[in-house]
Amino acid sequence: MQKNLTAVITVRKGSVRVPNKNLKLFCGKNLLIHKIEVLKKIKGLDEIIINTDSDEAITIAQKYDVSHFKREDYYASSECTNSEFWANVAQNTKSKYIMFTHCTNPLIKVETYIKFIDTFKKLKDKYDSFNTVTDLREFLFVKDKPINFDLAKAPNSQDLPNTFKLNFAINILLTEQMFKTKTLVGKKPYFYKLHEVEGFDINTPLEFQFAEHLFKKDKM
């Protein structure tokens, strides 16, 4: 019987800016274990899959009784594009819908995942993808040209257009659609706003330290 909604956590063994960051200790527990424990508290998921090229991540998946898929070397390399990778993940996920999420957003709460999934269930007939975003009120340029304000009539920052950025923290869409389009965002997406703290993504050693600080503060 085909599963309805499967969560996929992608874990790449190598990382340029933070070595082995997906398996790095975060407040005494590595990021992958932290994410598995969060997702296992969600009743709406049929399966959790660790998609990885890391033997250590596979060992963790087995210990915590979740599924795993051993990624081919090419799909863990820098030569592989995001589009190729997303299509490969979809091809190897046997579920009607896929929830694509990451270890490197450790500040997302269980309640937020549940609300996100509830929104998806209520609106899935109206939208073809559900993607988290965070507000972005900044003075933006492409090369030397402003794109969201007039240099001659620069507004106060609070009066800038209400723009936002994809943070890729949580994404739900049809697995078949993800395979065919090779993207996480559909033609009719629903953008779910995350608080900037929950949407915080770890990419550098400094961001890692800051995320730990925020996590500890929230637990106080």
* % of the chain at pLDDT higher than 90: 77
Q: Which of 15, 189, 18, 34 is nearest to 105 (CA)?
A: 34
Q: At a CB cut-off of 8 Å and minimum separation 6, what does 163 contact? A: 135, 136, 137, 140, 148
Read off the pTM: 0.92
pLDDT confidence bin for 2, thresholds 50/70/90: confident
Task: Please give the pLDDT value at position 220.
Answer: 56
pLDDT of residue 37 exceeding 90: yes
* Phi, then psi, of 144 in degrees rounded to 5: -110, 15
For residue 189, give both structure tokens. Answer: 């997406």
The average pLDDT across 200-204 equals 92
Q: What is the mean pLDDT of the chain?
A: 93
Per-residue pLDDT tens over the stretch 98-146: 999 999 999 999 999 999 999 999 999 999 999 999 988 888 899 989 8
pLDDT of residue 206 exceeding 90: yes
Provide the pairing of β-strand 129-136 with 189-193: parallel
Domains of the chain: 3-219 (3.90.550.10)
Exposure of 23 in the CB half-sphere (CA atoms within 13 A): 18
The average pLDDT across 179-192 equals 97
pLDDT of residue 16 exceeding 70: no
The average pLDDT across 187-200 equals 96
